[in-house]
């Protein structure tokens, strides 16, 4: 199994050639008769930032939740640093410590202060001594300008602040990869920038990220590659410069045209 | 309590909300007047009834009430006031045990996975049965059944202990459902957030779900405890000298029922503060939710 200390690069029998940070192969996911994902293949190298775009309901959130094992996959496999995490008997809790996820609706724990939100995972899961967990959490909060909120409860914070805390909470686990699910969609327009700035900073720091987003301008700026999701598959995958200016697939063209008409690109 | 008009005690079950409908001074005058009129009318009916004198003598006789309250061992009856202490102790013991057992049952019923299946089945059957059987029958079953078994420790307890056990069995079934509703009231996204940090099912429950659930269920929980306070009186059927039993013994000796009125008043004194407190919490919660929604 993936350990927290060795960096997880120990070769295993099922290691794919050059171990990508994250490798998704032939992933299928159905909810009852509704087949949402119909064979997703995607490889994310370390330090890459992948943006997932696609119409509402195209399965972006579902894909991220499958990667995080919050949803069991129907078929196919996911590899984290070369090790399959979708095989039966895997320690899901351990896997999740390596994969951070930030949700559209923040999902902070309302009964805990900001500091407790951030230290819960390290203290309870990683068994970091409390004083050390607090020190690290305060350092992270400080880095993102949230230190003065450490003692506040989430409902005292603006949406932008809450989402930044949620990002810090995920980072406190020192994940290998960060999944971001439309993290600005629930925010008032004037609060979007502060959250996007945080993500930009993380990208510059070399964080590996898989980002579902409706912010096309942001995707164009930040992504190493952009994947367009439709009909349960990644129908087009290209660097942003290419995908946004000369999309090849007809469905991508149609999607981008609609977005442009809506004034969102 | 202080800011309410005197009449409001009569409407405890629905609480200050009823008064809130009366807006402004005119409203207060109107509601006070109507309360006074209703009370006066009821009192008049009672006092003018043909048997009023007789009823007042047998149920509301001040001297008998006083004697029943204090008790008199020489005449063979117990103090209802002192007996109430047993109700209070049974209530407190049962309450603690119920909170624990009910939580265990709720958590087991919420669990997933095949390992817990047998426990899940047992818990489900338990809740169905314990909620379906009248409390009084459970009290009889334990109070007479367990001693009859002639087991060493189990069969030699006092009536109060069997009574508490019966209360715990019956109430835990209800309270476990309250817990379960509380657990379900916490949004699934909170579970997802907790699990995504690598917290196990149990750790998520303990640190994230239950603390939020408990907050949501305090009012319904208090409601059940109000009713538990009263139901301690049922343990009297096993011969435990609690307030109701003491009142019964008094009336058996004196052929006067005023002792029951004393017991009723004492129970009211116990339950009304809890009822007011529950209403207060509900109102505060509603206020918070409204304030929260405006954000
Ligand atoms: N738990 C679930 N049970 C049943 N169906 C689900 C569930 N979660 C998602 N779906 C369905 O899967 C499809 C994809 O949903 P998903 O949320 O992944 O889309 P999305 O691309 O994230 O959309 P959006 O841009 O609106 O967030 C939808 O048709 C949705 O109804
Ligand atoms: Mg989504």
pLDDT of residue A264: 62
Domain CATH for B143? 1.10.3720.10
- pLDDT tens profile A118-158: 999 999 999 999 999 999 999 999 999 999 999 999 999 99
The answer as to whether B163 is a domain residue is yes
The whole-number average pLDDT for the span B177-196 is: 95
Is the confidence at residue B71, as pLDDT, over 60?
Answer: yes
pLDDT-based confidence at residue B41 (cuts at 50, 70, 90): very high
Q: Which of the two residues, A163 and B3, has the higher pLDDT score?
A: A163
Tell whether B218 and B117 lie within a shared domain: yes
> SS3 for A144?
coil
Q: Is the CB of A100 under 6 A from ligand 1?
A: no
**Total of domains in chain B:** 2
Tell whether B41 and B66 lie within a shared domain: no
Find the A122 Cα to ligand 2 centroid distance in Å.
27
Residues A237/A227, Cβ–Cβ less than 8 Å: yes
- pLDDT tens profile B91-130: 999 999 999 999 999 999 988 888 899 999 999 999 999 9
Q: Which of the two residues, B194 and B285, has the higher pLDDT score?
A: B194
The answer as to whether B248 is a domain residue is yes
Range of the domain at B169: 62-294
pLDDT-based confidence at residue B7 (cuts at 50, 70, 90): very low
Nearest CA in chain B to A171: B197
Tell whether B14 and B96 lie within a shared domain: no
Of A101, A110, A155, the CB nearest to B196: A101
Tell whether B130 and B40 lie within a shared domain: no
Find the A61 Cα to ligand 2 centroid distance in Å.
4
Q: Is the CB of A59 under 6 A from ligand 1?
A: yes
pLDDT of residue A54: 94
Is the confidence at residue B38, as pLDDT, over 70?
Answer: yes
Largest CA distance in chain B: 75
For all residues of chain B together, what is the average pLDDT? Answer: 87
Tell whether B30 and B161 lie within a shared domain: no
Q: Indicate the helix (H) or strand (E) that contains A229.
A: strand A225-230
Whose CA is closest to B139, among B275, B242, B221, B226? B242
Tell whether B160 and B263 lie within a shared domain: yes
Alpha helices in B52-204 (DSSP H): 52-59, 62-70, 80-110, 117-132, 135-148, 159-185, 188-196, 201-204
**What are the structure tokens assigned to B95, written together?**
């309450």
The whole-number average pLDDT for the span B65-86 is: 88
- pLDDT tens profile A13-70: 455 456 899 999 999 999 999 999 999 999 999 999 999 999 999 999 999 999 999 9
pLDDT of residue B58: 87
Q: Name the residue of A62, A213, A228 whose CB sits within 8 Å of the most ligand 1 atoms, as the mutation to test its pocket.
A: A62
Is the confidence at residue B221, as pLDDT, over 60?
Answer: yes
The answer as to whether B226 is a domain residue is yes
The answer as to whether B57 is a domain residue is no
**What are the structure tokens assigned to A102, written together?**
């930030």
pLDDT-based confidence at residue B73 (cuts at 50, 70, 90): confident
CA angle B169, B173, B176 (to 5 degrees): 125
Q: Name the residue of A61, A72, A183, A262 whose CB sits within 8 Å of the most ligand 1 atoms, as the mutation to test its pocket.
A: A61
Tell whether B21 and B136 lie within a shared domain: no
ipTM summary value? 0.90
Tell whether B17 and B84 lie within a shared domain: no
For all residues of chain A together, what is the average pLDDT? Answer: 91
Tell whether B161 and B42 lie within a shared domain: no
The answer as to whether B54 is a domain residue is no
Is the confidence at residue A79, as pLDDT, over 80?
Answer: yes
Tell me the three-class secondary structure of A52-116, residue by residue. EEECCCCCHHHHHHHHCCCCCCCEEEEEECCEECCCCCCCHHHHHHHEEEECCCCCCCCCCCHHH
The answer as to whether B130 is a domain residue is yes
pLDDT of residue B68: 87
Tell whether B96 and B9 lie within a shared domain: no
The whole-number average pLDDT for the span A176-182 is: 96
pLDDT of residue B265: 93
Tell whether B35 and B174 lie within a shared domain: no
Strand order in the sheet with A233-238: A99-102, A177-181, A208-212, A49-54, A225-230, A233-238
Alpha helices in A144-249 (DSSP H): 159-171, 189-204, 216-222, 240-245
The whole-number average pLDDT for the span A90-99 is: 96
pLDDT-based confidence at residue A10 (cuts at 50, 70, 90): very low
Instruction: Identify the bridge partners of residue A78 per DSSP, sorted by sequence position.
Output: A24
Q: Is the CB of A31 under 6 A from ligand 1?
A: yes
Tell whether B146 and B39 lie within a shared domain: no
The answer as to whether B24 is a domain residue is yes
- pLDDT tens profile A199-230: 999 999 999 999 999 989 999 999 999 999 99
Q: Which of the two residues, B248 and B11, has the higher pLDDT score?
A: B248
Whose CA is closest to A225, among A76, A47, A33? A47
Side-chain-side CA neighbours of B233 within 13 Å: the count stands at: 19
A8-17, A246-255, B15-24, B269-278: least confident range: A8-17
pLDDT of residue A8: 41
Q: What is the DSSP string of A206-224?
A: T-EEEEE-S-HHHHHHH-S
Find the A231 Cα to ligand 2 centroid distance in Å.
15
The answer as to whether B272 is a domain residue is yes
């Amino acid at each position: 199994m993936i350990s927290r200390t060795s960096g997880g690069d120990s070769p295993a029998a099922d290691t794919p050639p050059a171990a990508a940070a994250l490798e998704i192969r032939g992933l299928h996911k159905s909810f009852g008769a509704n087949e949402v994902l119909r064979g997703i293949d995607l490889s994310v190298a370390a330090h890459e930032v992948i943006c997932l775009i696609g119409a509402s309901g195209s399965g972006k959130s579902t894909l991220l939740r499958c990667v995080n094992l919050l949803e069991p996959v129907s078929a196919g496999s996911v590899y984290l640093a070369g090790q399959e995490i979708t095989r039966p008997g895997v320690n899901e809790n351990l896997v999740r410590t390596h994969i951070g996820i930030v949700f559209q609706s923040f999902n902070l724990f309302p009964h805990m202060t900001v500091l407790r939100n951030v230290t819960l995972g390290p203290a309870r899961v990683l068994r970091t001594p409390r004083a050390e967990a607090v020190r690290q959490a305060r350092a992270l909060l400080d880095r993102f300008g949230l230190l003065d909120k450490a003692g506040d409860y989430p409902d005292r914070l603006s949406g932008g602040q809450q989402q930044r805390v949620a990002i810090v909470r995920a980072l406190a686990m020192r994940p290998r990869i960060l999944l971001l699910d439309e993290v600005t969609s629930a925010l008032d327009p004037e609060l979007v920038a502060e959250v996007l700035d945080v993500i930009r900073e993380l990208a510059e720091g070399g964080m590996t990220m898989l980002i579902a987003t409706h912010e096309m301008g942001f995707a164009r700026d930040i992504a190493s590659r952009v994947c367009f999701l439709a009909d349960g598959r990644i129908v087009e995958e290209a660097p942003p410069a290419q995908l946004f200016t000369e999309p090849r697939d007809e469905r991508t063209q149609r999607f981008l045209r609609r977005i442009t008409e809506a004034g969102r690109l | 309590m202080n800011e309410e008009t005197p009449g409001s005690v009569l409407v405890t079950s629905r609480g200050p909300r009823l008064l809130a409908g009366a807006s402004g001074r005119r409203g207060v005058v109107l509601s006070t007047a109507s309360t006074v009129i209703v009370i006066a009318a009821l009192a008049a009916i009672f006092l003018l009834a043909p048997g009023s004198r007789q009823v007042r003598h047998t149920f509301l006789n001040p001297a008998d009430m006083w004697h029943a309250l204090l008790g008199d061992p020489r005449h063979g009856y117990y103090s209802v006031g002192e007996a109430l202490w047993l109700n209070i102790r049974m209530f407190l013991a049962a309450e603690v045990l119920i909170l624990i057992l009910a939580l265990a049952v709720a958590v087991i019923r919420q669990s997933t996975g095949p390992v817990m299946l047998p426990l899940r089945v047992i818990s489900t059957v338990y809740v169905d049965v314990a909620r379906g059987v009248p409390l009084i029958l459970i009290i009889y079953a334990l109070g007479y059944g367990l001693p009859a078994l002639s087991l060493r420790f189990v069969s030699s307890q006092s009536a109060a202990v069997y009574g508490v056990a019966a209360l715990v069995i019956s109430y835990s079934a209800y309270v476990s459902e309250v817990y379960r509703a509380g657990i379900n009231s916490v949004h699934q996204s909170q579970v997802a957030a907790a699990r995504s940090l690598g917290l196990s099912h149990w750790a998520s429950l303990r640190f994230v779900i239950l603390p939020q659930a408990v907050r949501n269920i305090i009012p319904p929980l208090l409601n059940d405890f109000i009713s538990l306070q009263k139901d301690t009186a049922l343990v009297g059927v096993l011969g435990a000298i609690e307030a109701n039993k003491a009142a019964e013994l008094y009336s058996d000796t004196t052929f006067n029922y005023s002792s029951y009125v004393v017991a009723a008043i004492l129970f009211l004194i116990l339950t009304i503060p809890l009822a007011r407190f529950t209403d207060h919490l509900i109102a505060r919660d509603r206020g918070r939710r409204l304030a929260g929604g405006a954000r």
